[in-house]
């Protein structure tokens, strides 16, 4: 996901995996580390919700399902992304898709 997307996420403090020093971790370890420290994990990994038992984590996941993960492409989804980030509950996944 483009780093500049962070400026477009409203009412949230956004940190990247790289900023946290978590770039080399697999999804399960990433979720464990983020759980309890962050409210939401925003990802373009479409398989994460099938590979992990999200219910066991104290974090909500917003999964973006799109072929275009450029900043320009994601801007079209910003209303849905911002709504999902604001409303996802811990242990659940909300999916944002292109129409």
Helix (H, G, I), strand (E, B) or coil at 81: helix
H or E element, residue 87:
helix 78-87
**Mean pLDDT of the region 30-52:** 92
DSSP letter for 98, please.
Answer: -
Give per-residue pLDDT as tens, 56-95.
Answer: 999 999 999 999 999 999 999 999 999 999 999 999 999 9
pLDDT above 80: residue 99: no
Q: pLDDT at position 87, please?
A: 96
Q: pLDDT at position 12, please?
A: 86
Q: Percentage of residues in the chain with pLDDT exceeding 70?
A: 99
Evaluated on CA atoms 83, 95, 1, 90, the torsion sign reads positive
**Mean pLDDT of the region 20-40:** 93
- pTM score, whole prediction: 0.92
């Amino acid at each position: 996901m483009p780093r500049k997307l962070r400026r477009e996420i409203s009412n949230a403090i956004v940190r990247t995996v790289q900023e946290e020093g978590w770039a080399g971790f697999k999804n399960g370890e990433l979720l464990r580390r983020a759980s309890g420290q962050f409210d939401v994990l925003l990802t373009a990994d479409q398989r994460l919700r099938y590979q992990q038992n999200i219910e066991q984590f104290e974090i909500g996941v917003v999964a973006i399902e799109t072929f275009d993960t450029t900043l320009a492409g994601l801007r079209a989804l910003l209303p849905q992304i911002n709504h999902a980030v604001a409303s996802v509950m811990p242990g659940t996944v909300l999916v944002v898709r292109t129409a």
